[in-house]
Amino acid sequence: MQFCSKEAFRLRAQLQDMRNIQSICLGGLFVAAYVVLSLFNIRFSEFLEFRLAFLALSAAAFYGGPVMGMTVGIAGDVISYFVMPQSAPFFPGFTLTYAVLGFLFGLILYRSRITPLRAFAAGLAEFFISCTLTTFWLHLMYGMDWKYLLTIRIVKNAISLGVYSVLLFVFLSAFSRILASGRMSEKAAGQVPR
């Protein structure tokens, strides 16, 4: 099974697609969904939380590829920070984390059939980014011991890997059916004489 489609590497074409009205509107919708889902984070401590905004990020990457995934990751993280009251100052490292995650989601999910293995690969990308970049940013911000923080985050992310993979599979399977039915409606409307 090929994990990256050829279309995922056509970044120039994705940039041009981002200029059309439908992509701009859907990108804004994905950002809004990201912000709303950020309100439903499940926080266990200052360092451990489960975030659901990755679902909007995965939908953006599935629809528009790595470019849209990265754009929604950046815009969603910045806007959600200013929409919700925060106890910590804004830190651009987390914005970079969600940009990289959106890009990786785009490489894995763009114009691909959603299978459990592909959803697991996307969940694994989230696991890897969360264990490395996010842990590093938390270490820089709070000065906690790197090994202690990494141990906590590996346990948390190992638990969430299965949950996130199942959520990705169910959510993206439904989202792909919605997109397919929308495209069928567009084709049918284009064939009707006026």
3-state secondary structure 147-167: HHHHHHHHHHHHHHHHHHHHH
Amino acid at site 156: K
Q: Is this prediction's pTM over 0.75?
A: yes
The band of 145, judged by pLDDT with boundaries at 50, 70 and 90, is confident
Nearest to 32 by CA among 62, 50, 57: 57
pLDDT at 192 over 50: no
pLDDT at 33 over 90: yes
Region 97-107 average pLDDT: 93
Nearest to 100 by CA among 138, 136, 57, 64: 57
Region 25-53 average pLDDT: 84
**pLDDT digits over 121-142, tens only?**
999 999 999 999 989 998 898 8
Mean pLDDT of the chain: 85
pLDDT at 166 over 90: yes
φ and ψ of 50, to 5 deg: -105, 125
Beta bridge partners of 49: 43
- Whole-angstrom distance, CA of residue 26 vs CA of residue 113: 20
